[in-house]
Chains A and B, each alone.
Chain A
Amino acid sequence: MSDKKGILVVGEPKNGRLANVTLESITKARALAGVLGGPVSVVLMGADTKPLVAAAGKYGAERVYTADSPELATFRPGPFVDAAMAAIKAADPALVLCSGSPDGRDVAAGCAARLGVGVLVDVTGIEVAGGKITVTHPCFGGSTIVEKEAVASPVIATVRSNVLGREEAAQDPEVVPLSVDFTPAGLLAKIVDVVSESAAAISLEEAAIVVAGGRGVGSAENFKLIQELADALGAAVGASRAVVDAGWQHHQAQVGQTGKTVSPQLYVACGISGAIQHRAGMQSSKCIVAINRDPDAPIFSFADYGVVGDLNTIVPTLTEEIRKRKAAS
Chain B
Amino acid sequence: MNIAVCVKQVVDTEAVLKLDPSSWRLDRSVNCILNPYDEYAVEEALRIKEAHGGEVTAVCMGPETATDAVRKALAMGADKAVLVSDAALAGSDVHGTAYVLAEALKTMQWDLVVFGVRSTDGETGCVPAAVAERLGVPLLSALGKVVVEGAKLTVDRETETGYVRYECPTPAVLSVIKGINEPRFPSMKGIMTAKTKPIDTKDAAALSLDTSRLGSSGAKTRVLSGRSPEPRKAGEKIEDDGTGAAKIVEYLTGKKLV
B75 to chain A, nearest CB (A): 21
* A277 CB–B CB distance under 8 Å: yes
Contacts A140-B17, A252-B160, A258-B37 hold; do A305 and B223 have CB atoms under 8 A apart? no
Most buried by B among A102, A109, A185, A194: A109
How far is B221's CA from A190's CA once the two chains are assembled, in angstroms?
34
Contact between chains at B160 and A203 (CB < 8 Å): yes
How far is B45's CA from A151's CA once the two chains are assembled, in angstroms?
36
Contact between chains at B234 and A106 (CB < 8 Å): no
* B178 CB–A CB distance under 8 Å: yes
Within 8 A of A (CB), among B219-258: 219-229, 231-240, 244-249, 251-253, 255, 257-258
- Majority-rule SS of A interface residues: mixed
Residues of A within 8 A of B62 (CB): none
Contacts A109-B129, A112-B126, A118-B95 hold; do A309 and B239 have CB atoms under 8 A apart? yes
How far is B240's CA from A113's CA once the two chains are assembled, in angstroms?
55
Contact between chains at A110 and B133 (CB < 8 Å): yes
The number of chain B residues with a CB under 8 A from chain A is 86
Contact between chains at B248 and A307 (CB < 8 Å): yes
* A121 CB–B CB distance under 8 Å: yes
B127 and chain A: residue at smallest CB distance: A109
Contact between chains at A321 and B94 (CB < 8 Å): no
Contacts A109-B94, A148-B223 hold; do A325 and B258 have CB atoms under 8 A apart? yes
How far is B96's CA from A112's CA once the two chains are assembled, in angstroms?
12
A316 and chain B: residue at smallest CB distance: B245
Residues of B within 8 A of A318 (CB): 245, 248-249
Residues of A within 8 A of B142 (CB): 102
Say which residue of B13, B123, B249 sits within 8 Å of A321 (CB atoms): B249
Q: List 28 A-B contacts (CB under 8 A).
A: A77-B140, A81-B133, A106-B129, A106-B141, A112-B95, A112-B220, A113-B133, A118-B95, A119-B94, A119-B130, A140-B26, A145-B229, A146-B24, A189-B140, A189-B172, A244-B179, A252-B158, A258-B37, A287-B255, A302-B231, A305-B248, A306-B236, A307-B237, A317-B244, A317-B245, A318-B248, A322-B249, A322-B258
- Besides A77-B138, A121-B125, A188-B169, 7 more A-B contacts (Cβ < 8 Å) are A78-B138, A102-B117, A112-B126, A145-B226, A254-B178, A258-B37, A317-B246
